[in-house]
Amino acid sequence: MDLDPDLSALRPLGGFFVLRTVPGPPGAPAPGRLPTLAETYARVTPDAHRDALTTRVAVVADRLRTAERRVAASIAQQGLAARLWSAALGCAVRYGQLPDLDPRLLRWDPLASAPDDLYLTGLRPLPGDAATLADTVLHGHLEPLGEALRSRYGSAPGLLWGNAGSALAGAARELDRWARAHGRTDAADRSRALTGELFAHPLLRTTGTRTGTTFRRRSCCLYYRVPGGGVCGDCCFTRPPRSSPGAASG
C-alpha cells in the first residue's frame, strides 16, 4: 500500500504513532516557525525556539517535578525515541514503506505532546525494511540526539541506548496488540520480524533481553529518581535502588 498524504493508516494505532503532515489544531504554532530536528541536534534553532532540546528537557523536568536535569534529559530522550520508532515501525508494518524521516524534514514543537509535536514537511517513500529503519531512526536521529545529550547533560551512552531499546520494544508491543485485536496476524508477524532484526543491530543488541513482545532492559532510565516515581515495567531493577546519584546510569 502506497503512503497516503495524511499517513492515515497510523491513526488507528494511537496518538504516539501519528505523524502529522499538515498543520496542527487551531492555536498550534505554524510548522515553518518550528525548528527541524536537524537544527535541534546541532543546537541551531530559530529564535522562537532557541535551543529546543534544552527547552524540552526543562518542560519534562517541570512536569515531573524534578530538579535533576540528567533525569529529565533521559525521560525526554526516551519519549522522542518512542515517537520516532512508533511512526517509523507503524509505517513499515501498515504500508510496507517508510516515509523519509530525515531530521531536516521533521519539525518539532518541544512544548507539545503527541501527536502535535512532530510535523513531516515532505513525503518521500523509502523501503520499509529493517536496514532502512535502522539507518533512519538509529543513525539519522538517535545517534545525533545522544551526542547532544551527552555533551549537554553528561548522559551515559548505555542509558540512552537502553532507552532506545525500551522505546522500540514498547512501540512493537503496542503494534502487536493492535494487530491481534483486529485479526491482523500478518501485521503482527511483520512487526515481530522487523523488531527482531532491529534488536540484532550492534547498537541495540546488548540493551536488554526479549521474550516474545516482552523486554527487560539492562540499564535504568532513572525514573525512580523522580518524586513519587518507581521502576518501570522493563527496568533492570525490581525495586528502586538505594544507591549513589550516578548509579545505573550506564
For residues 223 and 232, the answer to whether their CB atoms sit within 8 Å is yes
Name residues whose C-beta falls within 8 Å of residue 230's C-beta, 6 or more positions apart in sequence: 223, 224, 239, 240
CA angle 100, 10, 30 (to 5 degrees): 65
What is the full DSSP assignment across 182-229?
A: TT-HHHHHHHHHHHHHHHTSTTTTTSEEEETTEEEESS--SGGGSTT-
Query: What are the b/e assignments for 230-241, b being 16+ CB within 10 Å?
Result: ebbebbbbeeee
Report CA 162 to chain centroid distance, whole Å. 12
Peptide bond into 46 cis (omega under 30): no
List the domain boundaries for the chain: 8-225
Q: What is the value of pTM for the model shown?
A: 0.91
Euclidean distance between the first and the last CA atom of the chain, given in angstroms as a whole number: 41
DSSP 11: G
Q: What is the pLDDT of residue 239?
A: 82
Q: Which residue has the cell 505532546?
A: 113
Dihedral sign for Cα atoms in the order 59, 62, 68, 74: negative
Q: What is the pLDDT of residue 246?
A: 45
* Partners of 125 in beta bridges: 99
For residues 113 and 25, the answer to whether their CB atoms sit within 8 Å is no
Q: What is the pLDDT of residue 178?
A: 97
Per-residue pLDDT for the chain (250 aa), expressed as one digit of tens each?
Answer: 889 999 999 999 999 999 999 765 666 666 677 899 999 998 765 554 468 999 999 999 999 999 999 999 999 999 999 999 999 999 999 999 999 999 999 999 999 999 989 999 989 999 999 999 999 999 999 999 999 999 999 999 999 999 999 999 999 999 999 999 999 999 999 999 999 999 999 999 999 999 999 999 999 999 899 998 888 988 888 888 775 444 444 4
